[in-house]
Amino acid sequence: AQKVTQAQTEISVVEKEDVTLDCVYETRDTTYYLFWYKQPPSGELVFLIRRNSFDEQNEISGRYSWNFQKSTSSFNFTITASQVVDSAVYFCALSGYNAGNMLTFGGGTRLMVKP
Amino acid sequence: DTAVSQTPKYLVTQMGNDKSIKCEQNLGHDTMYWYKQDSKKFLKIMFSYNNKELIINETVPNRFSPKSPDKAHLNLHINSLELGDSAVYFCASSQGQQTNYGYTFGSGTRLTVV
């Protein structure tokens, strides 16, 4: 069985603050993929990143960065200099090799960025 | 040129009715999925089809029946709708069944049962 936990249900920050969204996962697979998705108020699911279990390099894309630590089973997401447009629900997800490409989502973190 | 399109976007219906949600993808993907997002935003897989064959069928009431006429379409039919079926339903597709392929999600269908 696989499980994803996003302990922060809601975070509120003021614009330009940095914010980190936590994600902890459980899986018995040695090969797996981790994802982050953004769900803005409009409702669609926007793909942000996919990372495989063999690649622990951190990744940066503009104001977004991801920290993958296999030792602690965590895949945290940081937004630098947050903006109002970053306000959304963010989902971490896991797909294990033996799970038939089934995505298991965390409960989501609602991020509110205030001007 | 929407990659994964769902219709309708909104659906309001009365309890006891039967309704269908349609999903089509033009990406040439082999595998399609239905996910349900409840009122608390929890997203959970319902079904997965690969080349028109059912692969995953999570614990979903028999009132839900997916149908895949071809690998580009995966429709969801729901019989005898109940209040608890109110949710947003997302269709998705991927290149194959292996985990290294990413997902493309549709924009969702918000179903409201009154």
| B99 pLDDT above the threshold of 60 | no
Write out pLDDT tens, residues B42-91. Answer: 999 998 888 878 877 777 899 999 999 998 999 999 999 999 999 999 99
Closest CA to A3 of A36, A37, A28: A28
Q: What is the 3-state secondary structure (H, E, C) of B28-42?
A: CCCEEEEEEECCCCC
Take residue A69 and report the two structure tokens written for it.
């630590």
Mean pLDDT throughout B15-43? Answer: 94
What parts of chain A have a pLDDT lower than 50? none
Q: Is A86 helix (H, G, I), strand (E, B) or coil?
A: helix
Instruction: Give the gap in angstroms from C-alpha B108 to the nearest C-alpha of chain A.
Output: 7
Chain B contacts of A52, Cβ < 8 Å? 100
- Report pLDDT for A55: 85
User: Which amino acid is it at B94?
Assistant: S
Closest CA to B97 of A97, A51, A54, A93: A97
- Report pLDDT for B98: 58
B94 touches chain A (CB under 8 A): yes
Contact between A64 and A19 (Cβ < 8 Å): no
